[in-house]
Amino acid sequence: MTITLCEITRDNWKECARMRVEPDQVRFVASNPFSLAQSKYEPECVPLAVYDDEQMVGFVMYRTEDYGLAKVWFIDRVMIGEGHQKKGYGRAAMTLLLERLRSQKGYNAILISFVPENSVAQKLYSSLGFKDTGEIEDGELVYRIGLTG
Ligand SMILES: CC(C)(COP(=O)(O)OP(=O)(O)OC[C@H]1O[C@@H](n2cnc3c(N)ncnc32)[C@H](O)[C@@H]1OP(=O)(O)O)[C@@H](O)C(=O)NCCC(=O)NCCS
C-alpha cells in the first residue's frame, strides 16, 4: 500500500466526482461533486484525492481559517470510496494529511467535526490525537488537535 494525497486536476476530477460512500453513510459527509463545487467557489478549500498507487480510493478537503492572531486548519471532508473501506486507507490518509498540516508553521490547531452517530469517525479521530472541544457546530461534534505553532 502506497498512499498519497494528490491534487485534483483536469484529468482526475470526474473520477473523484463519481466516487461515493456506502449508501448508509451518505448522511455523514457531503457528496464529492458538492465538495468540488465548494472548492471552486471557496478557494481557501484544498481538495485532494487519496490514491493507493495509481488507484483513487478516497477524498479529503481542508481549509485554513484566520481568527486574527489564531490561525487554524479545518478538515472539512474525509471519505473513502465504497468498496475501498476497512483496508486502512482512512487512517493512512488522515495520518498523511495531519503530517502535511503539522509541517506548516503559524497554526494553533487542527479542527474536525462529525455527526454524533458517526462512531467510526469518532474512534478514528480520537486515536489520531483529536480531543473533544465540547462545542457543537451545525449539529456536529467539534474535535481538535492543538499545535505549538
Ligand atoms: C470514516 C472513514 C473515512 C474510515 O475509512 P476506512 O478506510 O474505512 O478506515 P480504516 O480502514 O483506516 O479504519 C480505521 C479504523 O476504523 C475502523 N472501521 C472502519 N470502518 C468501520 C466500520 N464500518 N465499522 C466499524 N469499524 C470500522 C477500522 O476497524 C479501523 O480501526 P482500528 O484502526 O482501530 O483497527 C470511512 O468509513 C468513510 O468514508 N465513511 C463515510 C464518510 C465519513 O463518515 N467521513 C467522515 C466524516 S467527518
pLDDT tens column, 46-93: 999 999 999 999 999 999 988 777 899 999 999 999 999 999 999 999
Predicted local confidence at residue 22, as pLDDT: 97
Cell numbers for 53 = 498507487
pTM over 0.85: yes
CATH superfamily of 3-146: Gcn5-related N-acetyltransferase (GNAT) (3.40.630.30)
Q: Ligand 1, from 86, 136, 143: best to mutate by most atoms within 8 Å of Cβ? A: 86
- Cα(70)–Cα(108) distance, integer angstroms: 6
Q: Is the CB of 88 under 6 A from ligand 1?
A: yes
Hey, what's the torsion of the CAs at 20, 23, 24, 30, to 10 degrees?
40
User: Do the beta carbons of residue 46 and residue 38 sit within 8 Å?
Assistant: no
User: Do the beta carbons of residue 113 and residue 63 sit within 8 Å?
Assistant: no
Predicted local confidence at residue 66, as pLDDT: 82
Cell numbers for 78 = 474525509
Q: Is the CB of 114 under 6 A from ligand 1?
A: yes
Q: Using the structure block, give the residue that is written with the C-alpha cell 498523511.
A: 96
